[in-house]
Amino acid sequence: MKRMKRSITVLSAFALALAFVPPGWAQIKELPKQTVTVAGTVETIDKNIRAVNIKTADGKFVAVDVPASAKRFDELKVGDKLKVTYNNNVYARLKPAGEAAVDSAATASNMGKDARPGGAAAMVRTMTTTVSDIDKAASSMTFVGPNGWKYSRRIVDPTVFDQVKVGDKIDVTWSTDVTYVVQ
Lowest pLDDT segment from 20-34, 112-126, 145-159, 169-183: 20-34
Is residue 101 pLDDT above 70, yes or no?
yes
Q: Examine the pLDDT at 25 and tell me if it is beyond 70.
A: no
Q: Is the pLDDT of residue 178 over 90?
A: no
Q: Write down the domain spans for the chain.
A: 2-182
The pTM of this model reads: 0.59
Rounded distance between C-alpha atoms, residue 26 and residue 41, angstroms = 46
The beta-strand segments (E) located in the chain are: 28-46, 51-56, 61-65, 81-94, 103-109, 118-135, 140-144, 150-154, 169-182
Higher-confidence position of 155 and 139: 139
